[in-house]
Amino acid sequence: MSDASREIPGIFAGLGATAKRDLLLAWKRPGDVLNPLFFFAMVCTLFPLAVGPSAEQLEFSGPGVLWVAALLATLLSLNALFITDFEDGSLDQLLVSPQPLPILVLGKILAHWLTSGLPLVFVSPILAITYRMPLSVVGVMMLTLALGTISLSLLGSIGAALTVGLHRGTALLSLLILPLAMPIMILGANAVSLAASNDIYSTGIWALGAYAIASLSLAPYATAAALRISNE
Amino acid sequence: MWKWFHQLASPPHFYRISAILAPWLAVPGVILIAYAAWQGLFVVPMDYQQGDAFRIIYVHVPSAYLSMMAYMIMATSGAIGLIWRIKLSHAVAAAAAPIGAGFTFLALCTGSIWGKPMWGTWWEWGDPRMMSELILLFLYFGYMALRSAIDDTTKADKASAVLALVGIVNVVIVHFSVEWWSSLHQGQTVFKKGTMDADMRIPLLIMLLGFTLLFGAMLLRRIRTEVLFRERRTRWVREMILSPEGGA
């Protein structure tokens, strides 16, 4: 028995293995990564069509539109976080693994962020420029999106874990997560708006950073608990 | 003391005690509300600035307070159920959610009715309190939707308890973020509150007490139904229903 327990790799090996596996899966199914990005671009296209393409309108609404679109795109990708693992039974393997579940979950969330949040951050400048956002503000927006999507992935994983295996889980997931995700969007979009009007925007960045750290330390435990509840 | 507490947590015992307790909350609650409503509507003088419109606070403030109180009860009893596995406390959480959502809705409606003559608008997106209250209503909806989406009661109890706890951490953040956000757009539109006259305040305090008692009675009633439904296959329920009294 003691030999077996010595063979169990460290917690970071477990984190790395789950993250690597999910990244590999994402690589094999590029559609899962690309679809939310297309969705993001399309939502950003809808707004000028709906409210009119005048320059000052675009400049004014740009930060808000980009942030709403990013939030919706992240929600769209969150549904897939546990569902395929639940269907093919590998989620059960995670649950019975001797590794601490919160760490394994963190690995999955990390992979989710790398395949959903990070691409959004890199796609957003293209759309931001079409919204006539100055280049200095684009940097601020990328920073808020990077910090914000980390929190969104973490917070959303709780919702994804609670709704895994439920019928009509997608709509329910949005209903659960959107009210909780509002502060992230408020902080992010307003920091960008403030930067655009040459105001002090650092408060929003710090608050987003604090939110990301707090959810990084708390959300994996809640997600792990929720996964155990949904799979008993 | 502890024995009494443990007995209370057992469903049949709770069912008996709550039947005795409920009228003691409901009757004083209704009397206090009726008295305070009469005071508030007819006796209390008009506000020199707001005229008669201010009288809506006698409904608005108690419902806003209960909307938050119900969420606290929902989350705490969910946590108690999660930690100590007390079945009754999950029934409390399940019973508190619809009442809380109702009071939240009432607070929003009365606030908006008051806002029309005062601010000239039914809805003010820039007001942090209205936004927090609206998000609270959404949280209630999400909570109830999750509960109804899961067929297995035990699972629904635990999952919704986790959601309520995550929500409670977030309610604070929502409040501050909304406050920070609205401070960008405009100053506080709510009139700076001076000290309220005692003639106006005492009926409000009576109303708060009356609402709380009535809320307690409604909560007990809902918990009783919830307990009865959850324990429908147990012996005590069958015995009670088949007994000559029929289980009132």
The closest alpha carbon to B218, from B23, B85, B15, belongs to B23
A167: tokens are 């019928």
A107: tokens are 């690995």
Picking from A180, A203, A229, the nearest residue to B155 by CB comes out as: A229
Interface check for B46 against chain A (CB to CB < 8 A): the answer is no
A34: tokens are 């690309």
> Is A109 strand, coil or helix?
helix
ipTM for the assembly: 0.84
Q: Cβ(A132)–Cβ(A59) under 8 Å?
A: yes
Q: How far apart are CA B170 and CA B226, in angstroms?
A: 28
Listed ranges A83-92, B38-47, B51-60; the one with the highest mean pLDDT: A83-92
The number of folded domains in chain B is 1
Residue B30 lies in a domain: yes
Whether the per-residue pLDDT at B185 is higher than 60: the answer is no
A165: tokens are 């295996």
Q: Is residue B112 packed enough to be buried (19+ CB in 10 Å), middle (13-18) or exposed (0-12)?
A: middle
CA atoms within 13 A on the CB side of A76: 21
Whether the per-residue pLDDT at B189 is higher than 50: the answer is no
Q: How far apart are CA A98 and CA B115, in angstroms?
A: 57
- Under the banding of pLDDT at 50, 70 and 90, the label for residue B1 is low
Q: Is residue B174 packed enough to be buried (19+ CB in 10 Å), middle (13-18) or exposed (0-12)?
A: buried
Residue B206 lies in a domain: yes
Q: What is the pLDDT of residues B15-34, one digit of tens each?
A: 888 888 888 999 999 999 99
Chain length of chain A: 232
Note the pLDDT of residue A39: 92
Q: Cβ(B144)–Cβ(B97) under 8 Å?
A: yes
Give the mean pLDDT of B204-231. 92
Q: How far apart are CA A213 and CA A48, in angstroms?
A: 35
Percent of chain B with pLDDT over 70: 87
Q: Cβ(B134)–Cβ(B108) under 8 Å?
A: yes
Percent of chain B with pLDDT over 90: 34
Residue B6 lies in a domain: no
Q: What is the pLDDT of residues A99-132, one digit of tens each?
A: 889 999 999 999 999 999 999 999 999 998 888 8
Note the pLDDT of residue B192: 43
Residue B222 lies in a domain: yes
Partner-chain contact A186 B163, CB within 8 Å: no
Q: How far apart are CA B103 and CA B101, in angstroms?
A: 6
Across A3-33, b (16+ Cβ under 10 Å) vs e yields eeeeeeeeeeebbeebbeebbebbeeeeeeb
Higher-confidence position of B244 and B13: B13
Residue B13 lies in a domain: no
Give the mean pLDDT of B54-72. 88
Residues of chain B found within 8 Å of residue A207, distances taken between Cβ atoms: 177, 180
Residues of chain B found within 8 Å of residue A218, distances taken between Cβ atoms: 169
Interface check for B153 against chain A (CB to CB < 8 A): the answer is no
Q: Whole domain around residue B138: which residue ranges?
A: 23-42+51-190+198-235
The closest alpha carbon to A230, from A126, A81, A17, belongs to A81
Residue B16 lies in a domain: no
Interface check for A176 against chain B (CB to CB < 8 A): the answer is yes
Whether the per-residue pLDDT at B126 is higher than 70: the answer is no
Scan residues 35-74 of A and list those with Cβ closer than 8 Å to B: none
Q: How far apart are CA B2 and CA A227, in angstroms?
A: 34
Strand partners, B51: B47
Q: Cβ(B165)–Cβ(B75) under 8 Å?
A: yes
Residues of chain B found within 8 Å of residue A190, distances taken between Cβ atoms: 180-181, 184
Average pLDDT, chain B: 83
Residue B220 lies in a domain: yes
Give the mean pLDDT of B219-230. 91
Residues A166, A170, A175, CA angle at the centre, nearest 5°? 105
Residues of chain A found within 8 Å of residue B165, distances taken between Cβ atoms: 222
